[in-house]
Structure 1
């Protein structure tokens, strides 16, 4: 039995992926649940297993190709099965009658159109009549189109996409240059693929959907630094790297409870603001491929050491692209710790459809007055970007002040 295997829906919101590597070859025996292909989605790398035992008859997508959910990517059969191209019923031509004479069978001479068809036998493509009619209507030779459907079948989408590439006005054309250089010198052309492509789309959607406003302030974390230095060795003995981020998460959750409109999302279609009654905090993690935002679920129910341990695990998984999709969903608020990379201030883009994001800068030594004396204080820079459709300046300032209050008085964090 021949089985056409489609790229499955591997998670909420994922519509496409890029094939990173095939683990099987045509003609190779496969077993059920054996990894067939590794696909990069906008969330993580996913290994797709074989649905059955059998033989790989055909790979229908190349490494580096972008595939859509529901697209046939591989055909598996049994030993002895042969894969034959099957034309649609509408494409099967009726056999022409032959003439019979006294000296034998005389075939009718092919007309001019048939002769042309025979010349194109090598180039014959699979396509249903309606698609062929569309190509003819648009003045396109269908043999020039590369099909993306099963067995290379040309689809309506293929025809329209090809038509778009040939109808650009001449004034849009630019002089051809070698791909490795432009008019000014050498360049390297890097395809916008995988996670980088997804990040680009999400950033554009966020910035053009949510009117961003940024607010900045500073927190005196001198006491927080002292407390962390005091307890980090004890945490290390338990195998936990206690960073400032754990304290920041606790301070953020406390502030979110005071200002629920920061912990929300906006449903544009229904025109409803959804106030989240849970506190799932996303943490932007820098990876070689770009930012990934793992989510710590129920952050309000976890202690400092548990938060630190979960952060360690999620960062390792994110950077290796082996993170589970469930760990990338369900966030209600996001923190971007660019201070860990040496940044001071920034204006992070909201992780849409959330309505705000907190940016955390590095801790710096600054001079300040304390009880009439000039002293050195530890100062942390903070930035809050928020969606002005949902959050007003007063709410944003109140939230940021609540975060600062907890960071400057870490005993409040320990009580959370």
Structure 2
């Protein structure tokens, strides 16, 4: 019997490593060709890794929660007949691929000082976006490799980490001591999507100075319009049911056309605001693994009914872990709503590198003053968080009031969509 060494294939888009989220096989298992061996989470998505051949699993390399690099040994298979001892460096599904480029491999870099610094491309990009010199950060990884945790520690220290071989100054925010365990405690490792959410939230809060603006909306006419349209859709047997999100997406896009700087990303490397030409709206979806942002591409070109179907499709795919890469990337603005669990208001954290995120909160009947009379109306709150480096408070307020204009008089939406 020959053995076959299967290495983690190229994950695309310059991704050099991923977290081993879950093994689907164990040593001794018999696997078929294309059977899923494991799940690997990159900075962009969770991907399943199939077996290129049938055989018996001799050894799995790496534990759940470990980081696996592209072209790193993943599984040793025992095969019948003559099989190659090693796969080389194949792409996904076992197809041969060229050797990794310098951007893909976790190769050492030579900074201006001439000292070689070991770091992955992800770590290098993170340091570059924050204006940090890797040569001045002490690496805690093997052979002095600088890790993402080292970069975060440098950021938390205020002025960056000390240069190698220098005495570290007193950090502005010293590392927290380990939490002592007590009787009956349960420790849950931060892995998979939960870990990626944590990393992205820390990055967003450290990078972008947030501020929030909150205002209430009288949604009474919107409630009536939605009820009327859903009755017509039901009578036509269309099968489509409108939630409030399609209306909110359309109102947000209409407001963006007046305030285009909200439909933008901030390029940390060049310190430029990139005002996007497309309206790719991210919709935050609660899944068993954590919050995922699915992207509705070219949302301005979809009807209300098409938006409703696409949001529903993406939400189901997110919960089933079946979102494609293009459905997770390229967002220009995010909307997050917890529906009837949305509470009074919240201050959402920005979805880096976007410069705005809209929180939609619980819609309920409340007393309101209309024509100097206290009446019962369908009310809800909107909260907008922005990157204060590029969005001022008056622009944020005007943007929210523009959205409210379309939600309080929803017939205007049909004029805006014309």
TM-score clears 0.5: yes
How is 1:4-153 mapped onto 2 (pairs within 5 angstroms)?
4-10=5-11, 12=13, 15-23=17-25, 25-26=27-28, 28=30, 30-31=32-33, 33-41=34-42, 44-52=45-53, 56-76=57-77, 78-79=79-80
Distance 1:188 1:53 in 2: 39
Q: Name the CA distance, whole Å, in 1 between partners of 2:324 and 2:242.
A: 23
Cα distance change of structure 1 residues 283 and 80 upon mapping to structure 2, 3 Å threshold: same
Partner-residue secondary structure (3-state), 1:284: strand
Q: Structure 1 residues 402 and 198 mapped into 2: Cα distance closer, same or farther (>3 Å)?
A: same
The 3-state SS of whatever aligns with 2:351 is coil
Q: Is 1:199–2:197 an aligned residue pair?
A: yes
C-alpha change, 1:359 and 1:59, in structure 2 (3 Å) is same
Deviation at 1:270, TM superposition (A): 1.3
The residue aligned with 2:251 is 251
Aligned match of 1:225:
223
Q: Per-residue CA shift, 1:187-228, capped at 9, x if unaligned?
A: 210001111111111101101100101111111111000111
Q: State how far apart, in whole Å, the 2-side matches of 1:289 and 1:400 are.
A: 31
Aligned-residue offset at 1:26: 4.4
CA shift digits 1:350-405 (9 cap, x unpaired): 00000010011111222233334332111120111000111111211121111011
Structure 1 distance, partners of 2:349, 2:55, is 48
For structure 1, list consecutive stretches of 5 or more residues without a partner in the other structure: 86-155, 162-171
TM-score normalized by the length of structure 1: 0.71
> Comparing 17-26 with 321-330, which one deviates more in the overlay?
17-26
More helix by share: 1
1:302 is matched with 302
Give the drift of 1:345: 0.3
Q: Is the contact made by 1:283 and 1:293 (CA closer than 8 Å) also made in structure 2?
A: yes
How far apart are residue 344 of structure 1 and its match? Answer: 1.8
| Deviation for aligned residue 1:81 | 6.5
- What secondary structure, in the 3-state scheme, does the structure 1 residue paired with 2:405 have? helix
Q: Rg bigger for which structure? A: 1
For residues 269 and 408 of structure 1, the distance between their equivalents in structure 2, rounded to whole angstroms, comes to 40
- TM-score, normalized by length of structure 2? 0.71
Describe the shift of the 1:13–1:26 C-alpha distance in structure 2 as closer, same or farther (beyond 3 A). Answer: same
Shift of residue 343 of structure 1?
1.5
Q: Distance in 1 between matches of 2:320 and 2:179?
A: 39
Give the equivalent residue in structure 2 for 1:315: 315
**Offset at 1:312?**
0.9
Residues in 1 aligned to 2:328 and 2:378: alpha-carbon distance in whole angstroms: 33
Q: Distance in 1 between matches of 2:267 and 2:47?
A: 29
Instruction: Return the alpha-carbon distance in structure 2 between the equivalents of residues 299 and 390 of structure 1.
Output: 24
Change (3 A) 1:42 1:316: farther
| Count of residues paired in the alignment | 331
Query: Over the residues paired in the alignment, what is the CA RMSD in angstroms?
Result: 3.1
Please list every run of 5 or more consecutive structure 2 residues that lacks an aligned counterpart in the other structure. Answer: 87-139, 146-174
CA contact (8 A) 2:4 2:84 kept: no
